[in-house]
């Protein structure tokens, strides 16, 4: 094995590709070679490094120095100063004052344990990091029902928003006698500020594939589809390469490991409808129909894709599965809380010092996530509120900064984990403006299948626009909440049932703002 003095991790994701990372890599390799450091400095292309919105980013190990917004013209100085003279270039560092370094905590990661460390396009890197051990164990050492029971015992709950126990969902489909069963992966993130699944897939596509394989084995499915957002070009490319490599290695295909089990995985590209995040609408779209939700029951686990038994899981949910099978449910339950086991992946956005991606134990407080993983508030700003869970989430005030971020704790405040997005707002942000943006989104994304949602979202947008312009009254505020409550009770799917979350939390926690704007 070759040993290097330093490793330069270069984050290759949609943001850095757009910023010209491939040209920068060429220049970096040339400068390293010219300086005679090729045997000392290892350059590794990897996935997201944990902080984003910063252009091209580099992390240097073992020094743990993070650079942001690197340009091609910065490379000669970086090589000369840092790699030859041992002096990090302060002006290029993530935090030139040296007070903040992203808290990666790789030893406490499950879903992101390889992200930012291995080359996501290398199956050998993934296998070298322990990848596909869970798949081998599930296929050669465990019976399908034992896999289901292990996932149930782990306490893994769906990470797509609803939080339904994954093992229980699998148990509905596994015992059914059917000629064909399917696994469908929901990788169609359509909610504003939500892209943690994209970063998971960009950083470690093989881990998602391994989770799909184990799920397929558990329920007896021979075909799986990854339904992915069309804009996720890099994810699609990396997933397809990972699938092709698995076929070449005999990890996918016919009679895998001479077990008699067959499995193929195919990518299907979505057309950008938010409603297709609802599992039955997603299935309709997969079948080539309009993305409208179906009546339930029957549930997809019994009659799903082409009326065959189908398990639909979110990307993050399935990315937890390899760890559970390889290490065991008992080990998995060492993370999180007794009621909510495991970890949760978040994207932290807004008025924080360092927007980023993090994975923390279930039950970690909102304050800890903001301060230790995003560097706290931007300089000069104070915390006012956080929109937790995306557009279908809730707006939490500063008095709830110490709320524990898990399904059970948030439920006490009528809040949800949702999509894993945390949008942080400073004291100058208008809650009315935020709510207007949310309701505009719901109006745009309503599929029009049912009248409560189709008409209700229009009326909500009309009322919040009136209020935003200073032309509304508190009666309009009251009417808006009443319409949303009616939609919650009568809408066909979760899209129409969701606006009440943001509306109620905004009005309950920031009523003074609504009073002030309606009394102008």
Q: How far apart are CA 275 and CA 454, in angstroms?
A: 12
Question: CB–CB of 52/43 below 8 Å?
Answer: no
Instruction: Report the distance separating Cα 105 and Cα 112, nearest Å.
Output: 10
Q: Which residues pair with 227 in a beta bridge?
A: 186, 268
DSSP class per residue in 184-209: EEEE---STT--HHHHHHHH-HHHHH
**Residue 394 clears pLDDT 90, i.e. is over it:** yes
Q: Which structure tokens are listed for 157?
A: 């709950």
pLDDT tens-place string over residues 223-259: 999 999 999 999 999 999 999 999 999 999 999 999 9
Alpha carbons within 13 A on the beta-carbon side of 193 = 26
- Give pLDDT, residue 302: 97
Residue 272, pLDDT score: 85
CATH number for the domain whose boundaries are 431-518:
1.20.1440.230
Q: Which of 263, 229, 16, 244 is nearest to 135 (CA)?
A: 263
ω into 333 cis (within 30 of 0): no
Q: Could you tell me which residues come within 8 angstroms of residue 331 by beta carbon, excluding any fewer than 6 positions away?
A: 323
Confidence of residue 365 (pLDDT cuts 50, 70, 90): very high
Q: Which pLDDT belongs to residue 176?
A: 97
Q: What was the pLDDT predicted at 100?
A: 55
CATH of domain 6-102: 3.40.30.10
For residue 375, the model assigns a pLDDT of 87
Provide the residue count of the chain.
520
Report field, pTM of the whole predicted structure over 0.75: yes
Instruction: Tell me what pLDDT residue 182 has.
Output: 98
- Report which secondary-structure segment, H or E, holds 67: strand 65-67
* Numbers of helices and strands, H then E, in the chain: 21, 13
pLDDT per position as a tens digit, 33-83: 999 999 999 998 888 888 777 899 998 988 888 899 999 999 999 999 999
Q: Which residues on adjacent β-strands are paired with residue 421?
A: 347
Instruction: Give the model's pLDDT for residue 99.
Output: 53
The domains of the chain are located at: 6-102, 108-332, 343-426, 431-518
What integer is the mean pLDDT of 451-466?
A: 97
What confidence score (pLDDT) does residue 193 get? 79
* pLDDT score of 364: 95
Instruction: Dump pLDDT digits (tens) for 324-364.
Output: 999 999 999 999 999 999 999 999 999 998 888 899 999 99
pLDDT digits (tens, 9 = 90+) for 116-137: 888 999 999 999 999 999 999 9
Question: Is 487:469 a contact under the CB 8 Å cutoff?
Answer: no
Other C-beta atoms within 10 Å of 103: how many?
Answer: 17
Mean pLDDT (the chain) is 93
Query: How much is the pLDDT for 101?
Result: 58
CB 379 within 8 A of CB 353: yes
**How crowded is residue 497: how many other Cβ atoms within 10 Å of its Cβ?**
18
CA pseudo-torsion sign 13, 15, 17, 19: negative
Q: How far is CA 405 from the centre of its chain?
A: 15
Lowest mean pLDDT among 9-18, 135-144, 249-258: 9-18
Please check whether the two domains, 6-102 and 343-426, share a CATH topology: no
- Residue 104 pLDDT: 53
H helices within 364-450, ranges in order? 366-373, 407-411, 431-445
Of 183, 187, 188, the closest CA to residue 213 belongs to 183
What average pLDDT score do residues 477-495 get?
96
What is the per-residue pLDDT across 176-220, written as a single tens digit (0 to 9) for each? 999 999 999 999 988 887 889 999 999 999 999 999 999 999 999
pLDDT tens readout for residues 395-410: 999 999 999 999 989 8
Sorting pLDDT into bands at 50, 70 and 90, what band is 414? confident
What pLDDT does residue 305 have?
A: 98
Q: What percent of the chain has pLDDT over 70?
A: 97
CA 247 to each of CA 180, 240, 265, 299, 343: distance values in angstroms, whole numbers, following the listed order: 21, 11, 10, 32, 30
Q: What is the CATH number of domain 343-426?
A: 3.10.20.600
- How far is the C-alpha of 221 from the C-alpha of 240, rounded, in Å? 20
Over residues 381-391, the mean pLDDT reads: 94
* CATH number of this structure's domain 108-332: 3.40.50.11540
Mean per-residue pLDDT, 142-155: 98
- Residue 162 binned pLDDT confidence (cut-offs 50, 70, 90): confident
Q: 302 near 309, Cβ under 8 Å? A: yes
């Amino acid at each position: 094995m070759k040993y290097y003095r330093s490793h330069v991790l270069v984050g290759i994701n949609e943001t850095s590709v757009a910023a010209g990372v491939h040209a920068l890599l060429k220049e970096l390799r040339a400068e390293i070679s010219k300086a005679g450091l090729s045997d000392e400095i290892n350059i590794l292309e990897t996935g997201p490094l944990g902080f984003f919105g910063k252009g091209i980013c580099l992390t240097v190990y073992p020094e743990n120095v993070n650079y942001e917004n690197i340009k091609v013209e910065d490379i000669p100085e970086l090589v000369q100063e840092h790699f030859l003279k041992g002096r990090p270039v302060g002006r290029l560092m993530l935090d030139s004052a040296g007070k903040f370094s992203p808290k990666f905590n790789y030893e406490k990661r499950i879903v992101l344990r390889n992200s930012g460390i291995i080359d996501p396009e290398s199956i050998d890197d993934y296998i070298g990091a322990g990848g596909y051990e869970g798949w081998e164990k599930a296929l050669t050492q465990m019976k399908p029902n034992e896999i289901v029971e292990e996932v149930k015992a782990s306490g893994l709950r769906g990470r797509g928003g609803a939080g339904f126990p994954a093992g229980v969902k699998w148990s509905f489909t596994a015992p059914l006698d059917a000629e064909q069963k399917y696994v469908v992966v929901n990788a169609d993130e359509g909610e504003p500020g939500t892209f943690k699944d994209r970063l998971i897939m960009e950083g470690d596509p093989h881990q998602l594939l391994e989770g799909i394989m184990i799920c397929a084995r558990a329920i007896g499915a021979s075909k799986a589809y990854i339904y992915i957002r069309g804009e996720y070009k890099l994810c699609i490319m990396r997933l397809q390469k990972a699938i092709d490599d698995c076929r070449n290695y005999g990890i996918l295909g016919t009679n895998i490991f001479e077990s008699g089990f067959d499995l193929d995985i195919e990518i299907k590209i979505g057309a950008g409808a938010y409603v297709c995040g609802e599992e039955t609408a997603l299935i309709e779209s997969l079948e080539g129909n309009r993305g409208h939700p179906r009546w339930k029951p029957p549930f997809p686990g019994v009659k799903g894709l082409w009326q065959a038994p189908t398990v639909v899981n979110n990307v993050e949910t399935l990315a937890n599965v390899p760890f559970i099978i390889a290490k065991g449910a008992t080990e998995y339950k060492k993370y999180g809380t007794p009621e909510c086991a495991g970890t949760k992946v978040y994207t932290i956005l807004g008025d924080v010092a360092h927007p980023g991606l993090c994975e923390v134990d279930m039950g970690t407080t909102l304050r800890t996530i903001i301060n230790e993983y995003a560097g706290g508030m931007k300089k000069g700003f104070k915390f006012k509120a956080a929109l937790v869970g995306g557009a279908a989430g809730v707006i939490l005030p500063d008095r709830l900064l110490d709320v524990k971020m898990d399904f059970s704790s948030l439920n006490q405040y009528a809040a949800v984990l949702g999509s894993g997005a945390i949008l942080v707002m400073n004291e100058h942000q208008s809650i009315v403006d935020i709510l207007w943006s949310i309701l505009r989104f719901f109006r745009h994304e309503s599929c029009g299948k049912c009248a409560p949602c189709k008409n209700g979202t229009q009326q909500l947008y009309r009322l919040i626009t009136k209020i935003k312009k200073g032309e509304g009254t508190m009666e309009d505020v009251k009417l808006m909440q009443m319409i949303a409550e009616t939609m919650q009770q009568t809408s066909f799917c979760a899209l129409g049932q969701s606006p009440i979350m943001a509306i109620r939390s905004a009005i309950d926690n920031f009523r003074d703002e609504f009073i002030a704007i309606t009394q102008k």
